[in-house]
Amino acid sequence: MKLNDLGPLMARRRDGGLSFGFDRFRADPALAALLHWPDDVLRDFLFDHGDNGHFLDDYGDVDLCAITWELETIPAAAFTTMPTGESDAGCIESYAADPVYWVKVRPPEVGRYWEEHGTWLRPPLLIDRRLLDLADSGLQVLEGRTRVGVLCGRLREQLRVAPAHQAWVARP
C-alpha cells in the first residue's frame, strides 16, 4: 500500500468533516489491517498530511507496509544537515531563520518546554532515505519541519538546546 493509494480514505476524511475524527480514521479497514503504526505517526503523517500535495509528490510511492517506526534518540547536530522532501526544499532553513518567532506563535507550553528542556514537545517524523531511493543514505525530515527548523535556529543563535532529541524514525 502506498500513500497515493489512500486517496479514497482521504476523501472520506474530508467529506466526513469533524465527524471523521482520528479514532474513526485509525479504525478504517484500509489502515487497521495493514499498518500497525504508533498513533502519533498515523496522526502526524497520514491523518494530518495524507492528502497534502507536497507529501504526495515526495512520498506518494513509498511502500507504507515496508516501514517500521521506532522512537529514537538523535544527536542535535545531526538535524543541522538533515533535508526534507524536495517539494518543501528550503522550508527548514526558513523556520531556522527566526526560531524565536516560530516558538512564540505556538501555544505557551511549547516555549516553556524549549526553555526548560531544550527540545520539542512532540517528536518529529524522520524517514530513512533508503525508503525513497535504495542508493541513498541518511535521514530526512518527513513531518516536523518547523520543529527541526527551530532546533537548527536555536543552535545557531546559541539558545538552550539539548544534546539529543527524540524522533519517530521510519526504517525499512
DSSP state of 106: S
pLDDT at position 22 is 86
% of the chain with per-residue pLDDT over 70: 97
Q: Quote the mean pLDDT of the chain.
A: 93
Q: In Å, how far from its chain's centre is CA 55?
A: 10
- The set of cell numbers assigned to 60 is 506518494
The CB density around residue 164, as the number of other CB atoms within 10 Å, is: 15
pLDDT at 60 over 90: yes
